[in-house]
Chains A and B, each alone.
Chain A
């Protein structure tokens, strides 16, 4: 187990370097940050040259990347065009998105697994067909459509919840955005659980569990669920990263000042340090989530542990 963890940790290093380098090149290599700072006006050549020098923009890209990365490990993410350090933006934005992600994740995991379990155990019956149809519908509609429709109906027309989220993003106001954000993933979780449950309920070891005279409840929780959830846990773990990235759309709809909002601002105003900084942290979240999934996977399935 120890060696497995070390191997997985080492695998993270090249992935981290690869992804961040790619982002860095895309943002800095394609476009002129100095021109962006001045918008429509043409900058004074001397000032522009000074800025280029200060920001190391004349150095080779790989060297710029190196300077940027060594900064990050000292907590220096550079400055946004407003002069605010990016690390401060990160500190204010990430907790908000994290809250939204947690709400969405709980909705996705609890409702998704429950729907999948009931559908999988009643294959071909009304409930099963219903779940399949509804999840297909949810998967087919883009998030921004469900988002605006729910916001209009529940928030504006019926006035059940506030249509936009206020300062500090309290949990109760995040339920509707969380549902919108979770929607598509929830549908996937439900379908994945359903298939897995259906497959496992035909397994030989379940027949053994019944033949042992175990109560039905125990057969389902201790024998079937544990096996059926292995692929679901994998999906859920990797989806944490997707939820945080997907929050970009949801946050704009519900006016939540989180990661999505900041990245959007960074892209619109061509502000490289903000974009690269936020995406780098997102990469770290992805990697850590994946590591946790792999460790959990080994806990759930002993056949992995000794492989």
Chain B
């Protein structure tokens, strides 16, 4: 057992074996005028150092909200976390004070956002915004922070970093801006990076470059990486394991190759079938029928049942638990065997 210097800490897992981040039964809800929107309904996942977890799902599946809960940047209210635990290095972050959590943000867990143009402050130079990390967290002088910022821009391969350090976000291209976001997340060499759709706003060739850079830096610093995306193509190359989310729950959770080869949940299967393929040229593309549920009125039973081609009576009444499928794999479907089999 390791000694952990905090009393609020519940069962201290063996720190050497414990994952870097472990989310247990996380619930997040938003109190809105139309009622309570249940965005996250009991999510479990974990990431170890050097590991990449891809969280996959469509808009409103709760993938970003759960990440923001981990980061501690949800606006509360309207958001509320009624239940759950988020262990980071063995300590439940939901029990920490605001100041303790602030010190983890940026320093130990950093986040990369989707649209770098709106996520960077338009009126401050990139050098200022990068240097702020060092000035606030390490108390460096303006000058020292600037030198570090130039170094950082070099690291993410921004050409002519020394000349461009005083430029503003709007003067950079989309890909370069996203590199600046990555540089900012990397500044203090955090243990965990959460990347929320880091390549969505970029065109395809730039996407590949940015993903490569991210993967390379992750290996170099041995960081844990949570990659939130709706793009199955991005996931295949970089992720170690995948958690597929639907209506605030994880419906399938598996090592990356298993999922692509044999999905064990009808939703995952639908997602994979809706990827356009060259050998299906000229044929109609498969689409999952229907729309994701309204989060204030999630269907009873399995949330996916109204859209599921395999739905039976039991799906409309009983919430399926996450059935183990072999080792290190789970599917929240009553008919996972049938899904795997056909």
Residue of A nearest to B171 (CB): A306
Q: Which residues from 247 to 303 on chain A have a C-beta closer than 8 Å to any C-beta of chain B?
A: 300-303
Assess whether A211 is in contact with B105, with CB atoms less than 8 Å apart: yes
- Measured CA separation A37–B38 after assembly (Å): 81
In the assembled complex, which residues on chain B have CB atoms less than 8 Å from the CB atom of A213?
Answer: 102-107, 136-137
Assess whether A204 is in contact with B168, with CB atoms less than 8 Å apart: no
B47: CB under 8 A from chain A?
Answer: no
Assess whether B122 is in contact with A303, with CB atoms less than 8 Å apart: yes
User: Smallest CB–CB gap between A220 and chain B, Å?
Assistant: 13
Residue of B nearest to A299 (CB): B123
Q: Which residues from 57 to 112 on chain B have a C-beta closer than 8 Å to any C-beta of chain A?
A: 71, 73, 102-107, 110-111
Assess whether B118 is in contact with A205, with CB atoms less than 8 Å apart: yes
Query: Taking A215-B136, A303-B168, A303-B170 as contacts, is the C-beta distance between A210 and B105 under 8 angstroms?
Result: yes
Residue of A nearest to B121 (CB): A205
In the assembled complex, which residues on chain B have CB atoms less than 8 Å from the CB atom of A211?
Answer: 71, 73, 105-106, 110-111, 113
Contact flags A198-215 to B (C-beta < 8 A → 1, else 0):
000001110111111111
Assess whether B102 is in contact with A207, with CB atoms less than 8 Å apart: no
In the assembled complex, which residues on chain B have CB atoms less than 8 Å from the CB atom of A222?
Answer: 124, 132
B184: CB under 8 A from chain A?
Answer: yes
A122: CB under 8 A from chain B?
Answer: no
User: Smallest CB–CB gap between B68 and chain A, Å?
Assistant: 8
How many A residues, CB 8 Å from partner? 23
Assess whether B122 is in contact with A212, with CB atoms less than 8 Å apart: no
B231: CB under 8 A from chain A?
Answer: no
How many B residues, CB 8 Å from partner? 28
B133: CB under 8 A from chain A?
Answer: yes
In the assembled complex, which residues on chain A have CB atoms less than 8 Å from the CB atom of B168?
Answer: 302-303
B120: CB under 8 A from chain A?
Answer: yes
Q: Determine which residue in A211, A214, A302, A303 has the highest number of CB atoms from chain B within 10 A of its CB, and name it.
A: A211
Q: Please report whether the interface of chain A is mostly helix, strand, loop or mixed according to DSSP.
A: helix
- Measured CA separation A210–B106 after assembly (Å): 9
User: Smallest CB–CB gap between B196 and chain A, Å?
Assistant: 10
Contact flags B114-133 to A (C-beta < 8 A → 1, else 0):
01001111111100000011
A162: CB under 8 A from chain B?
Answer: no
Query: Taking A204-B113, A205-B118 as contacts, is the C-beta distance between A212 and B123 under 8 angstroms?
Result: no
Residue of A nearest to B115 (CB): A204
- Measured CA separation A199–B115 after assembly (Å): 18
A227: CB under 8 A from chain B?
Answer: yes
A223: CB under 8 A from chain B?
Answer: yes
User: Smallest CB–CB gap between A11 and chain B, Å?
Assistant: 24
- Measured CA separation A159–B113 after assembly (Å): 60
Query: Taking A204-B118, A208-B120, A303-B168 as contacts, is the C-beta distance between A218 and B73 under 8 angstroms?
Result: no
- Measured CA separation A218–B106 after assembly (Å): 15
A91: CB under 8 A from chain B?
Answer: no
Of B102, B119, B171, which one neighbours A208 at CB under 8 angstroms?
B119
- Measured CA separation A205–B126 after assembly (Å): 12
User: Smallest CB–CB gap between A137 and chain B, Å?
Assistant: 28
Assess whether A218 is in contact with B171, with CB atoms less than 8 Å apart: no
In the assembled complex, which residues on chain B have CB atoms less than 8 Å from the CB atom of A208?
Answer: 111, 113, 119-121, 184
- Measured CA separation A264–B120 after assembly (Å): 52
A53: CB under 8 A from chain B?
Answer: no
In the assembled complex, which residues on chain B have CB atoms less than 8 Å from the CB atom of A306?
Answer: 171
In the assembled complex, which residues on chain B have CB atoms less than 8 Å from the CB atom of A212?
Answer: 105-106, 110, 132-133, 136, 184
- Measured CA separation A204–B112 after assembly (Å): 12
In the assembled complex, which residues on chain B have CB atoms less than 8 Å from the CB atom of A223?
Answer: 121, 124
- Measured CA separation A226–B122 after assembly (Å): 10
Contact flags B253-267 to A (C-beta < 8 A → 1, else 0):
000000000000000
Assess whether B123 is in contact with A227, with CB atoms less than 8 Å apart: yes
- Measured CA separation A19–B315 after assembly (Å): 77
In the assembled complex, which residues on chain B have CB atoms less than 8 Å from the CB atom of A303?
Answer: 122-123, 168, 170
Q: Which residues on A are within 8 Å of B, measured CB to CB?
A: 203-205, 207-215, 218, 222-223, 226-227, 230, 300-303, 306
- 16 residue pairs of the A-B complex, CB under 8 angstroms, read A204-B118, A207-B113, A208-B119, A208-B120, A211-B111, A212-B132, A212-B136, A213-B105, A213-B107, A214-B102, A214-B106, A215-B136, A227-B121, A227-B122, A302-B122, A303-B168
Other A-B pairs beyond A211-B106, A212-B110, 12, CB < 8 Å: A205-B120, A210-B105, A211-B113, A212-B133, A213-B104, A213-B105, A214-B106, A214-B136, A222-B132, A226-B124, A227-B122, A301-B122
